[in-house]
């Protein structure tokens, strides 16, 4: 609910969801009263998340399962589940619709991806107990960026799945995952204050 360009961060996800015609209903899963109030004000229906699924180390997958069970009990079964984390406020309708359309009978999961700035084959290192650093991937020797395989970061633009897949598995990569490429300027994922400041700069 921290304000980004004058609006609560979560409002960007809610308003985007509400403005996409193929999304029937928008829910926010939370145990926080302030987040609940803000979400309702922006047009989302709130699912009260159990405390044990709202801790810092609670698996998001279990919160998804809880939300699906709640919706099915209150509204009946549905064909697609999409999670739009509030930490990706720069995505647009086109990004989300591409992710929704990419889920087909040959795939189980669709995620947003964006080209990474660093590669484990070239300029990403790990540090051992003696503070010695080595490449994350110590296999084939690669001496310039052009030779390194193209690597992508997972974004938080959107996660699209069939509800049954979530209920019968425990993580995204249990199934066949399709990646939809999101432009870097819309793929920022807010994890830190610096990320927030960059998003605030880009959104204005």
Give residue 204's pLDDT band: very low, low, confident or very high (50, 70, 90).
confident
pTM for this one? 0.91
For residue 67, the SS3 value is helix
pLDDT digits (tens, 9 = 90+) for 14-23: 999 999 999 9
How many Cβ atoms from other residues are within 10 Å of residue 13's Cβ?
25
Cβ density class 101-125: b for 16+ within 10 Å, e for less: ebbeeebbbbbbbbeeeebbbbeee
pLDDT digits (tens, 9 = 90+) for 53-89: 998 889 999 999 999 999 999 999 999 999 999 999 9
pLDDT digits (tens, 9 = 90+) for 109-156: 999 999 998 888 888 889 999 999 988 887 777 877 778 888 999 999
Q: Residue 87's closest CA among 158, 152, 23, 151?
A: 158
Residue labelled with tokens 């064909």: 79
Report the alpha-carbon distance of residue 181 to residue 151 in Å, rounded. 12
């Amino acid at each position: 609910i921290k304000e980004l360009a004058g609006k609560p961060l979560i409002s960007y996800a809610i308003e985007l969801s509400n403005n996409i015609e193929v999304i029937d209903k928008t829910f926010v899963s939370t145990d926080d009263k302030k987040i609940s109030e803000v979400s309702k004000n922006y047009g989302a229906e709130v699912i009260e998340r159990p405390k044990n699924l709202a801790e810092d180390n609670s698996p998001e997958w279990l919160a998804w399962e809880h939300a699906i069970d709640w919706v099915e009990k209150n509204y009946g079964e549905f064909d697609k589940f999409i999670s739009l984390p509030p930490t990706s406020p720069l995505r647009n309708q086109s990004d989300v619709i591409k992710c929704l359309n990419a889920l087909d009978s040959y795939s189980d999961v669709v995620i947003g991806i964006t080209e990474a700035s660093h590669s484990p084959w070239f300029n990403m290192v790990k540090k051992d107990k003696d503070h010695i650093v080595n490449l994350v991937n110590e296999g084939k020797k690669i001496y310039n960026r052009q030779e390194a395989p193209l690597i992508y970061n997972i974004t938080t633009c959107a996660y699209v799945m069939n509800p049954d897949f979530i209920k019968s598995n425990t993580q995204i990569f249990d199934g066949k995952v399709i990646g939809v490429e999101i432009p870097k300027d819309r793929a920022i994922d807010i994890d830190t204050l610096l990320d927030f400041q960059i998003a605030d700069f880009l959104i204005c």
